[in-house]
Amino acid sequence: MNKNTVLSLHNINKSFDGKVKVSEDISFTLNKGEILSLLGPSGCGKTTLLRLIAGFERPDSGEITLYNRILSSSGTFVHAKDRHIGYVVQEGILFPHLNVYQNVAYGLGNGKGQLPLEQNRINSILHLMKIPELAQSMPHELSGGQQQRVALARALAPSPELILFDEPFSAMDSALRVELRAEIINILRETGQSAIIVTHDREEAIQCSDYIAILREGRLVQIDTPQNIYRYPVDISTAYSIGDVNILKGEYHSGKVITLLGEITVTSDGTYDGHHGKIILRPENITLNQINSVPSHRGVMVVLEKYQFKGMTSDVVISINGQYLDLTIINTTPLQVGEYYLLCIHSKGLFYTK
């Protein structure tokens, strides 16, 4: 095992009532200072996996280690309170009868924030979280963002070996979510803290993570850097989970696929001559250009039938030879329904037979 490995999961399985599999043969490692996002739809097993790591649930089989210390195996189970793992939930739950200082002090030891070393640690964490002035405030006096800062301060105070976040920003409005997310990620980076974040927000996963683990129906479908999953998803469902996708059907011949838009050069992991399948293209790989603005041999003539502006991208319906195609494209020029445009593809597509 790599000396920088913080967490290791090996063949983790978990089911409820012996029937519903929520974690199926999951294995991965997390290194020191890395941030991993568990991304997937509701019910795919993200929170259950987090609870297995935290020690709130026990796996049916498999092994979990933290810095080579076995936390869970066939003959070992370390309870949550003894794992040295921080846990931050969606609502930033605090003890309502304790003020901010006392909440952060919880779990530090017998002194509960009264010993000089503990006082120094708590004050340092409060300053790190930019909330020292809230030390004597009660939880009901805090905003949602302030409560989440206190929850993270409490998780950081004992210097955990790993922090787990269960959708920590999902209950906030969009502006606060973006602001607090950036602040917390910066703090994790500054402190070199290893962390796992559960999210169903693909933008959050891409922006926050060194690695993303895609979960689907309890299985780990792909784990890689955000860039690699975006560019080289293992299947079409994974492609959708990480960003907008355009799908074209066609037949593969010698590295190209014959489609409604003509021949498109593709990347594939095998030889599929004569096979029918699907190409995926990201919005930034497709543009609609004014006629004569680019050489005609670089594109195909289409008519814009429908157009919905979405900011950086637009949803369009184009027609070619009497056939219609829905696309999401990057915005490069003003568009007008009913006009002819030259559709250009700027990258190889990815070809899948399934």
- In this predicted structure, the answer to whether residue 1 has a pLDDT above a threshold of 60 is no
Position 111 scores a pLDDT of 62
Position 171 scores a pLDDT of 67
Residue pLDDT, tens place only, 3-50: 789 999 999 999 988 777 899 999 999 999 999 999 999 889 999 999
Separation of alpha carbons 151 and 155, rounded Å: 6
Position 285 scores a pLDDT of 93
Domain match, 199 and 291 both = no
Q: Domain with 229 in it: what CATH number?
A: 3.40.50.300
Domain match, 255 and 158 both = no
Q: With cut-offs at 50, 70 and 90, classify the pLDDT of residue 148.
A: confident
Domain match, 272 and 161 both = no
Domain match, 116 and 179 both = yes
Final residue in a domain of this structure, among 241, 264, 298: 241
First-to-final CA distance of the chain: 35
Domain match, 251 and 299 both = yes
The crossing angle, in degrees rounded to 10, of helices 174-191 and 144-156 is 20
Q: Domain with 321 in it: what CATH number?
A: 2.40.50.100
Amino acid at 260: L
- Mean pLDDT over residues 190-194, rounded? 93
Domain match, 106 and 226 both = yes
CA 111 to chain centre: 38
Final residue in a domain of this structure, among 186, 212, 241: 241
- Mean pLDDT over residues 195-204, rounded? 93
Using a 10 angstrom Cβ sphere, with 0-12 exposed, 13-18 middle and 19 or more buried, the burial of residue 161 is: middle
Final residue in a domain of this structure, among 241, 271, 287: 241
Domain match, 222 and 292 both = no
CA geometry: angle 42, 285, 319, nearest 5 deg: 95
Position 269 scores a pLDDT of 63
Range of the domain at 345: 247-352
Domain match, 275 and 221 both = no
Residue pLDDT, tens place only, 92-134: 689 999 999 999 998 786 667 788 889 999 999 999 888 999 9
Domain match, 176 and 251 both = no
For the chain, the average pLDDT equals: 91
Domain match, 210 and 258 both = no
